[in-house]
Amino acid sequence: MIDPPASTPSPAAIDVHISGRVQGVFFRDFTCKAASQLGLRGWVENCPDGRVRLQAIGDPAAIARLLQAVHRGPPLARVERVELLPLNDTQALPDHFEIR
């Protein structure tokens, strides 16, 4: 008997808000490089309230690795909180990962 081919997992989509010392410490550049290396699509931006926000879509394992990276952050950052929200509308995401 032949097993059916393994299905490709559905992409995961996330909306993340990162709090702490995350602006002025190359957090967006760090995140963009990590996401790009993982083959994810989306964006990262500074928020007026001092947080960093990112939206990403891609392979669930790659999303998990990106979340590990943003919990750590670049050397000068001090991540205090990572708020993970589902992202339902992925139509507006770019076909690559970018800094806004």
Domain ranges of the chain: 23-88
Walk along the chain (100 residues) and give the pLDDT tens digit of each residue.
Answer: 454 445 456 789 999 999 999 999 999 999 999 999 999 999 999 999 999 999 999 999 999 999 999 999 999 999 999 999 988 888 889 999 999 9
> Structure pTM?
0.88
Catalytic residue (one of 21, 41, 46, 88) = 46
Cα dist. 31→9, 10, 35, 87 in Å? 23, 22, 6, 18
CATH fold of the domain at 23-88 = Alpha-Beta Plaits (3.30.70)
88 is annotated as an active-site residue: no
28 is annotated as an active-site residue: yes
Catalytic residue (one of 28, 41, 51, 53) = 28
